[in-house]
Amino acid sequence: MIDDPPLLTIRRRFARPDPALVEALRGIQTSFAVDAMDGSGALHHRIKPVDPAGLVPTGFLGVAVTCDCGPADNLAVFAALDIAEPGDVLACATGGHEGTAVVGDMIAGMARNKGSVAVVTDGLVRDLVGLRQIGLPVFAAGLTPNSPTRQGPGTAGLPVVIGGMRVDAGDVLLGDLDGVVAIPRERLAAVVDRLAAIRQKEAAMEAAVRDGLTMTDVARRILDSDRVRLVD
């Protein structure tokens, strides 16, 4: 027989990224961040802005404060709220539980009052009308009116898995209409360094498409090479 686990395990002090590096990501698309990480980094595609009418804001950039709630419980969210600072994102892991919501408008309102810039979860949320009034970006796998308990156990400030991606407190989360990207804190400087070149290439390609481009040079060379077999 083992002892009952603590209701909450909390890491209050964790390494935070250089604010200047975070700010360098302001206004970039999630796809640019993914390109800067060699094509990966996005949370599962189901984690999207919760409001199909677009009345809840969508874009955000901030530092992750993580919590692992487990299924049908949100006690750990309050622990994350307690250690959150202005500019943080509440990153709430539920193991993909879809029986109850993990966050509603009251928690979103408290997060806004703490200065948080978004809520991200792999679970469900509720109170869409209230969320619209709160005005805080909320990204989730869906909506349900079902409510959770607050019994634990749970963690806050420790690594979690959300939408198939490992997210640690102090990592950077970036969201837009395409979804959410997690940038590990230790990779942040390298991502920022690559952004200028990515922006330049993207701008050049956009200009070429506007001017009538129908095929990239790389794809054209492959299509015209002996690596392609024609069967007609």
Would you state the structure tokens that stand for residue 128, as one six-digit string?
A: 């869409």
Q: What local confidence, expressed as pLDDT, does residue 2 receive?
A: 78
Q: How far is CA 169 from CA 101, 128, 130, 152, 205, in A?
A: 22, 27, 27, 19, 36
Model confidence at 52, in pLDDT bands (50, 70, 90)?
confident
CA of residue 104 relative to chain centroid, distance: 18
- Tell me if residue 39 falls in helix, strand or coil: coil
Would you state the structure tokens that stand for residue 88, as one six-digit string?
A: 């943080």
Determine phi and psi for 122, rounding to 5 degrees.
Answer: -90, 0
Region class of 98: left (phi > 0), else alpha (psi between -120 and 50), else beta: alpha
Rounded average pLDDT over 47-73: 94
Rounded average pLDDT over 190-194: 97
We find that the CATH architecture of domain 8-194 is: 3-Layer(bba) Sandwich (3.50)
Q: What local confidence, expressed as pLDDT, does residue 231 receive?
A: 93
Residue ranges covered by each domain of the chain? 8-194
Q: What local confidence, expressed as pLDDT, does residue 232 receive?
A: 86
By the 10 Å C-beta count (0-12 exposed, 13-18 middle, 19+ buried), 222 is classed as exposed
pLDDT tens for each residue of 116-140: 999 999 999 999 999 999 999 999 9
Model confidence at 209, in pLDDT bands (50, 70, 90)?
very high
Q: What local confidence, expressed as pLDDT, does residue 127 receive?
A: 97
